[in-house]
Structure 1
Amino acid sequence: MDPRQIRPRRRWYGVAIGIAVLFTLIGIGGFVAGIVTATNSVPGFDGTYTGKQESSVQLEAGRKYAVYVPETAATDCTVDQRVTSTSPSTTFSFTRNGEQWVHVTNLSVGTTGAYTINCSAPTYAVGPAPELGQFAGGLGGGIAALMGLPCLGITIGGIIALITGLRRSSHKKRLLASSAPTW
């Protein structure tokens, strides 16, 4: 009997492998995209200032700002009375230029202008407030893509390969039975 007569064709095994490989590659791509999203959500600094002295910082109304200090530094900061200062609800730290920075306070102002800030840390930085939702979403989404999509692709590919094998076996038996001599 010619194996080419058996249905479904062997190419379905290739389709099963292709689906598993494709979903794995998409999962890896999703992980990379998630990590890039999380990395891009780490805030930049509008300015870095010498601590233990008052600094004039330009702040715009309507923007959310944050004060960052090196991780090992004291976190006592005083701000101009016209600035609304609140403590962050969660701890957020990140590495920039080989130094670990910590988010210590949030700032907002009603009017654009120059405001005075003084922190007891040797240096401090002012920049946009961190986008924690974007950071967590990028990281979580990337991990979910890395874990979920390859598993889904392998499952779908496995089911296709299993059904193909069972149907080929059944068809082969029917072909052999129909070609067997009847006595």
Structure 2
Amino acid sequence: MAIPNTWGAPYGGYGGPPPAPPVIPAKDLRPRRLWYVVAALLGAVLVGTGVTLVVLAIKDTVNSVYTAHTFAGGEQRTFGFTRGKTRAIYVSQSRWGHVDCRIPRELADSLTKPAGTFRVTHGARSWDRVLEFTPRTSGDYPVICASEVPGAEFALGDKPEVGGMVGGILAAVGCFLTAAVAVPAICIVTAVRRGRHRRRLLAAATPPMWGPPPSGAAPWPPAGPVA
């Protein structure tokens, strides 16, 4: 049998289950969940920008060869030229072979062989840059090329901007890396701060575990003068 306690509950008795913790609505937490949406949008924008940069770099490189106006070895083809705009001659052949091209002397002094190699794959064909020249006048002029490899095809094109292509790809990689770092960082920081805010709100709303202070006279020591 429980011993009566003048403070309220009997000694050894059971005062009932502890109160349930208060419910904190998610909308009351800070920072708001809007930051998750911001992180998702930021990631989408960065990834989309990176993909666009890669596509543009590849497209500009592929379009540097005028594959719509190819000509066979030994065939003369007339093209329009602009003074000062460097042009390149590309060849598509089954194996490496010596290439010889000729242009009118009034168009350019000579054809030069590029210092490095540059190859563009368009469809089932690969085009290698073999010669370059800078027109000193504008107008339509014929170009004729030949190769020791049978079945070789030639095409005129622009001088490839390797630096621009590399810069575009590096910028795209930067966008991808920024998205990979920024999006998780925003989500983690938001989740941690919301968790801390939830704990602070719970601590402020939860009553003390020991309950309200006792009322009435204390059972010990007994009332009266002390001997």
Matched, 1:74 2:97: yes
The verdict on how the C-alpha distance between 1:107 and 1:75 changes in structure 2, with shifts beyond 3 A counting, is farther
1:4 maps to which of 11, 18, 24: 24
Q: Is the 8 A contact 1:23 1:150 kept in 2?
A: no
Per the alignment, residue 106 of structure 1 pairs with 132
Q: Secondary structure of the equivalent of 2:70?
A: strand
RMSD: 2.9
Matched, 1:151 2:151: no
The verdict on how the C-alpha distance between 1:179 and 1:19 changes in structure 2, with shifts beyond 3 A counting, is farther
Q: TM-score, normalised by structure 2?
A: 0.66
Range with bigger deviation, 56-65 or 32-41 = 56-65
Matched, 1:32 2:58: no
| AA matched with 1:112 | S
Aligned mates of 2:120, 2:199 — CA distance in 1: 58
Equivalent residues, number: 181
Q: TM-score, normalised by structure 1?
A: 0.79
| Larger-Rg structure | 2
The verdict on how the C-alpha distance between 1:75 and 1:57 changes in structure 2, with shifts beyond 3 A counting, is farther
Aligned mates of 1:137, 1:24 — CA distance in 2: 21
Q: Which structure dedicates a bigger proportion of its chain to helix? A: 1
Matched, 1:60 2:79: no
Unmatched runs of 5 consecutive residues or more in structure 2: 1-20, 214-227
Q: Which structure dedicates a bigger proportion of its chain to strand? A: 1
| AA matched with 2:49 | G
Aligned mates of 2:70, 2:173 — CA distance in 1: 33
- Deviations 1:22-78 (CA, angstroms, capped at 9, x unpaired): 222123211221122112212131731211x26244332121211111263425233
Matches within 5 A, 1:121-140: 122-140=152-170
**Structure 1 residue 8: Cα displacement:** 5.1
- Deviations 1:57-111 (CA, angstroms, capped at 9, x unpaired): 4332121211111263425233334344333344321211311111222221101
Unmatched runs of 5 consecutive residues or more in structure 1: none
The verdict on how the C-alpha distance between 1:91 and 1:175 changes in structure 2, with shifts beyond 3 A counting, is farther
The verdict on how the C-alpha distance between 1:123 and 1:95 changes in structure 2, with shifts beyond 3 A counting, is same
Q: Secondary structure of the equivalent of 2:56?
A: helix
The verdict on how the C-alpha distance between 1:109 and 1:4 changes in structure 2, with shifts beyond 3 A counting, is same
Identity %: 20
2:34 maps to which of 15, 19, 25: 15
2:117 maps to which of 91, 94, 99: 91
Range with bigger deviation, 140-149 or 84-93 = 84-93
